[in-house]
Chains A and B, each alone.
Chain A
């Protein structure tokens, strides 16, 4: 067991998966010699060699198609996009091909691949370097969308993603790549890909979030506790398919729910969760479902960034409003 930052846990999981299974290949821009823009693959070239840790030319629109072909032939490619915004040129392959190969071949073929990309703001970078566009991918049937919130989650979820027989979009919260350390055992144990994690118990309100926003969300829950109200904090982690059961069960107990997402409000994953609560949890609700989110605007840079990102204060405001509702 050693104390690792999230980015180190990613590296550990990649190394573990590569030594366990020789069909796992890493591909991407500067993943080899440079060890990746965020150094997530640092040292892996030396350990696993050029045949398996592959520096590619700049060709984002091709990567996913390449992985579909490799996956269909029995490989488990792990593709690194340097930033989430660079995945957009590959949307066609993601949507029309990766997400549909299993269905299109009526189960005869699949493409087990992991598309890794750092996402989210907080590093003072513009637009495509800072966005949280998970909802774009969560909308696509046939794909899994996974976002770890901590080093241990990153390790277990990435192993699960690599072993999963379907394509997984694995989004890494770059803002907290190195923010905290946590004990991570290199035991090869995967975490489930279809289950939310309850990070904190509470009876007064359910707080739902994922990825980097859990930092602010957990901090808000602590502040609230000092005021005598207990929030149950749920880490969604696997956004697609979405485990509504855990969220519904919690809201049944608390009667109130606030969802926190960094992404723009409209059409976000938070809206899907709110709709799920309206569908199946209405009788438990004592207050309208609250959402704290980024704004429906382009991620600004760099001085306005702090105004864009949901803060602990904004979460607390919404929590108090939700708790006060009668």
Chain B
């Protein structure tokens, strides 16, 4: 694997640009591109709507990190489950949840996935096997471990995929989870979205010894791999291996995705902790969508006209979602009391 480092094989060092592995078919490439673009446009729209005061509370955008969820999703089986943090819109879209329902939740409308009462951080879809958005940093990790326990106990052909940030990785409950998960050989994959910052604190300032995080499970014997998270093909390839490992009963696996968020932590961010140049450099040199676009044009998978068409199609989906999110009714006051206890 050109774009990865893993525990045990730490020699390789340099990461090379992706050469599309032959097994990614034309359809695969088109799908990855479309999915990443949908996330990008959806998030841009959400950012805009937030600016217009249509979205309340918090809103954490995934722009820049699209290759991570799309690459992982492509390696998943139909029964695999997903849990993540509050930076979660992309994970939902990748799971196949309806953009209309996600956007309407952001605007707090009845048609949202949580009836407009959960907002950006708290949406679920049992049907699409997406189990939350979690507003408490790191809390999803023990819960995802519980999902893995259930999958194994029920002998399901399912892996529990839990995403967490580089910042979340310093929470104690993460290591309690790693230990138990390894002890019981659970079918769990922990995906660390290392975007270099937890809010305003860089990994340099928050991680002891090294800013590389894929070996954080080493003491528990959990294999780890570091992947260029801006390269959807590398992510996919590494995910197939990690998920295959977990699925075959060999226990948990840790994937560290080197990625980057272009926008602020949430919608208000003093941005004192990094320079504009740093952000600009990543956008110019590593953008996951541009990168795949280049590969597709080079391999003549799609020409400019076809790409434009796709762009239009994606924009239409997003604007339909935005319309729905502004026309779906507000939840009724009686909803204040629903779903606190069963039947109420």
Chain A residues within CB distance 8 Å of chain B: 29-30, 33-35, 37, 39, 55-62, 85-86, 88-89, 123-129, 295-298, 300-304, 307-308
Contacts and interface: CB of A to CB of B under 8 A. Distances in A.
A58 B206 contact: yes
B171 A126 contact: no
B117 interface: yes
13 contacts: A30-B199, A30-B200, A30-B201, A58-B170, A61-B173, A62-B172, A86-B136, A124-B56, A127-B135, A297-B336, A303-B108, A303-B109, A303-B331
B170 A34 contact: no
Contact of A124 (B57, B117, B168, B336): B57
A35 B337 contact: no
Interface string B134-160: 011110000000000000000000000
A298 B341 CA distance: 11
Contacts of A298: 340
Contact of B270 (A34, A128, A296): A34
B160 to A, nearest CB: 22
B333 A307 contact: yes
Contact of A300 (B58, B171, B335): B335
A34 B199 contact: yes
Contacts of B336: 295, 297, 300, 304, 307-308
A124 B57 CA distance: 5
A35 B270 contact: yes
Contacts of A59: 170-172
A62 B138 CA distance: 14
A301 B117 contact: yes
Contacts of A297: 336-337, 340
Nearest to B117: A300
A128 B335 CA distance: 19
Nearest to B200: A34
Nearest to B139: A89
B116 interface: yes
B85 to A, nearest CB: 11
A24 B320 CA distance: 54
B170 A85 contact: no
A302 B171 contact: no
B207 interface: yes
Contacts of A302: 56-57, 108, 119
A33 to B, nearest CB: 6
Given A33-B272, A61-B173, A129-B58, A301 B198 contact: no
Q: Is the interface of B mostly helix, strand, loop or mixed?
A: loop
Contacts of A33: 200-201, 272-273
Chain B: interface residue count, which band? 35 or more
B118 A301 contact: yes
Interface in B291-344: 330-331, 333, 335-337, 340
Given A29-B201, A129-B58, A301 B172 contact: no
Contacts of B121: 126
B136 A58 contact: no
B60 interface: no
Contact of A304 (B171, B270, B335): B335
Contact of B167 (A57, A86, A125, A129): A57
Given A34-B272, A125-B57, A307-B336, 11 more contacts: A29-B198, A57-B207, A126-B58, A300-B331, A301-B56, A302-B108, A303-B116, A303-B330, A304-B116, A304-B331, A307-B333
Interface hub of B170, B331, B336 (most chain A Cβ within 10 A): B336
B205 interface: yes
A29 B270 CA distance: 14
Contacts of A39: 270
B122 interface: yes
Nearest to B138: A58
Contacts of B167: 57-58
B83 to A, nearest CB: 17
Contacts of A89: 136, 171, 173
Contacts of B56: 124-125, 301-303
Nearest to B58: A125
Nearest to B332: A304
Nearest to A30: B200
Contact of A128 (B136, B171, B330): B136
A5 to B, nearest CB: 17
B199 A29 contact: yes
Interface in B260-285: 270, 272-273
A89 B172 CA distance: 10
A126 B118 contact: yes
B171 A61 contact: yes
Nearest to A125: B57
B335 A55 contact: no
Nearest to B271: A34
B118 to A, nearest CB: 7
Interface in B30-79: 56-58
A303 B335 CA distance: 11
A33 B199 CA distance: 11
Contacts of B330: 303
B335 A57 contact: no
A126 B135 contact: yes
Interface centre among A59, A60, A85, A301 (most CB of B within 10 A): A301
Contact of A85 (B116, B136, B171, B340): B136
Given A126-B121, A128-B136, A55 B205 contact: yes
A61 B172 contact: yes
A310 to B, nearest CB: 13
A-B pairs with the 4 shortest C-beta distances? A302-B56, A124-B56, A34-B200, A57-B170
A55 B272 CA distance: 14
A128 B138 contact: no
A129 B206 CA distance: 23
Nearest to B133: A126
